[in-house]
Amino acid sequence: MRVLVVGGGGREHALCWKIAQSPKATKVWCAPGNAGIAGVVECVDIGAGDVEGLVRFAKEQRVDLTVVGPEEPLVKGLVDRLEEEGLRAFGPRKSAAELEGSKAFAKDLMQRYLIPTAGFRTFRRAEEARRYLETHDSYPLVLKADGLAAGKGVIICRNAQEALAALSTIMVDKRFGNAGDTLVIEDFLVGEEASIMAITDGTNILPLPSSQDHKALGEGDQGPNTGGMGAYSPAPVIDEAMMRQIERSILVPTIHAMKSEGRAFRGVLYCGLMITPGGPKVLEYNVRFGDPEAQVLLPRLDGDWLDVFTSAADGRLDQAAFSWDPRPAVCVVMASPGYPAKATTGAPIAGLDEEVADTVVFHGGTARDGDRIVTAGGRVLGVTGFGDSIAAARDRAYARVETIRFPGVHYRGDIGAKALDRLAKK
């Protein structure tokens, strides 16, 4: 099979790394890719948001399957355009991708179909939102830009002053562009976060092992939200009973709701959850693999991911064969100085050729400058370790991190700590 992977981050490196292992993959491209991906498959200089350019390439190269990594091309309708040209794609169509493209749409859907989530209000005028916040007496609250904001459009506010400042940031200053035209204000949920992803062909659902992202920049979940500073899988907060409840109350109802709305969902459904004392509740939906969750989930499949993706695209996911590596995985993200505000890039990266057993390094924001690989984004590398326990996987990941160097590198030293604390209390 001839395969095109769309995107250029750590998630796409993990996708290319896994797909290239398939005996069915005769040729794999990535658009646009990065310096690490170029060591695995052939990169082509087409931006992930260039829908027509990607469609032309897929037609010219007779691509058998296009796997779409990031949300932007999905929300723009890349899958629709590929299918119009008779080309197969793994990912949701534009109408289904609105589940991530509009938080207001997602919240309304959950409300109508009784899918558990936080209470909320939606505002399209800043002045109306301001009046609501000035008279609201229960904090914290969560303010969310409605549209795509690269994982950074969510602000937790402890009081009215912080909420009014966040309102200005989102709706007045337009820090996140048009994503802030509409504002969602949510009740703050108390509990522990976890991520559940499932592959679906619109009818059949393949739930993936649990994982937990670390969104905040600093240790102890302090600082601004980022695209994700690390992840681990599995997440001990989700046991078998909890997983059954999530499938029953969230995954299945969401797929059925989308079909009922005439927006049949194929691809990866990502549910960002808060595990509360009253059960799991949806914080957000994404319509693709999480990043960095992909860097701990994709390596754990003992089988052919290409076969799974093709089966989902063809509506026959029930025929896909797979099994899971029982070993836990931990991923630590190494970021550039200044991230997530304005990252400083162009620094040479040393130590990439070092080897540590049971680890793999996925490139997120890297580029080649002559003979050197340099930083080219905020989240530069995702270093994943495997082990017989979360503690062992964590030790291996950090051992590999210590071998890699670039000026101003920042990473959290507590990835996986919540899992270890929970396991210690059992």
How do residues 41-68 score in pLDDT, each as one tens digit?
A: 999 999 999 999 999 999 999 999 999 9
Q: Tell me the per-residue pLDDT of 140-186, one tens digit each, with 9 for 90 and over.
A: 999 999 998 877 789 999 999 999 999 999 999 999 999 999 999 99
Q: Is residue 320 predicted with pLDDT exceeding 90? A: no
For residue 318, what are the CA distances in angstroms to 96, 201, 391? 21, 9, 34
Q: Is residue 261 predicted with pLDDT exceeding 90? A: yes
pLDDT at residue 225 in the model: 85
Which two tokens mark 69?
Answer: 């990594």
pLDDT at residue 323 in the model: 86
> In the chain, where does the domain assigned CATH 3.30.1490.20 lie?
119-187
Are 185 and 143 in contact by the 8 Å Cβ rule? The answer is yes
Q: Tell me the per-residue pLDDT of 63-78, one tens digit each, with 9 for 90 and over.
A: 999 999 999 999 999 9
Three-state secondary structure of the chain: CEEEEEECCHHHHHHHHHHCCCCCCCEEEEEECCCCHHHCCEECCCCCCCHHHHHHHHHHCCCCEEEECCHHHHHHCHHHHHHHCCCCEECCCHHHHHHHHCHHHHHHHHHHCCCCECCEEEECCHHHHHHHHHHCCCCCEEEEECCCCCCCCEEEECCHHHHHHHHHHHHHCCCCHHHHCCEEEEECCCCEEEEEEEEECCCCEEECCCEEECCEEEHHHEEEECCCCEEEECCCCCCHHHHHHHHHHHHHHHHHHHHHCCCCCCEEEEEEEEEECCEEEEEEEECCCCCCCHHHHHHHEECCHHHHHHHHHCCCHHHCCCEECCCCEEEEEEECCCCCCCCCCCCECECCCCCCCCEEEEECCEEEECCEEEECCCEEEEEEEECCCHHHHHHHHHHHHCCCECCCCECCCCCCHHHHHHHHHC
> What's the mean pLDDT when you consider all of the chain?
95
pLDDT at residue 9 in the model: 97
Q: Tell me the per-residue pLDDT of 81-110, one tens digit each, with 9 for 90 and over.
A: 999 999 999 999 999 999 999 999 999 999
Q: What is the pTM of this model?
A: 0.94
The CATH homologous superfamily for domain 329-425 is Phosphoribosylglycinamide synthetase, C-terminal domain (3.90.600.10)
Q: Tell me the per-residue pLDDT of 356-380, one tens digit each, with 9 for 90 and over.
A: 999 999 999 999 999 999 999 999 9
The CATH homologous superfamily for domain 119-187 is ATP-grasp fold, A domain (3.30.1490.20)
- Determine the straight-line distance between the first and last CA of the chain, rounded to whole angstroms: 47
> In the chain, where does the domain assigned CATH 3.90.600.10 lie?
329-425
Q: Tell me the per-residue pLDDT of 196-246, one tens digit each, with 9 for 90 and over.
A: 999 999 999 999 999 999 999 999 999 988 999 999 999 999 999 999 999
Strand-pair partners of 381: 334, 363
Q: Is residue 426 predicted with pLDDT exceeding 80? A: no
Share of the chain above pLDDT 70, in %: 100
Q: Is residue 415 predicted with pLDDT exceeding 90? A: yes
Top-level class of domain 190-324: alpha beta
Q: Is residue 4 predicted with pLDDT exceeding 90? A: yes
Could you tell me the pLDDT band of residue 335, with boundaries at 50, 70 and 90? very high
> In the chain, where does the domain assigned CATH 3.30.470.20 lie?
190-324
Q: Which fold has domain 2-93?
A: Rossmann fold (3.40.50)
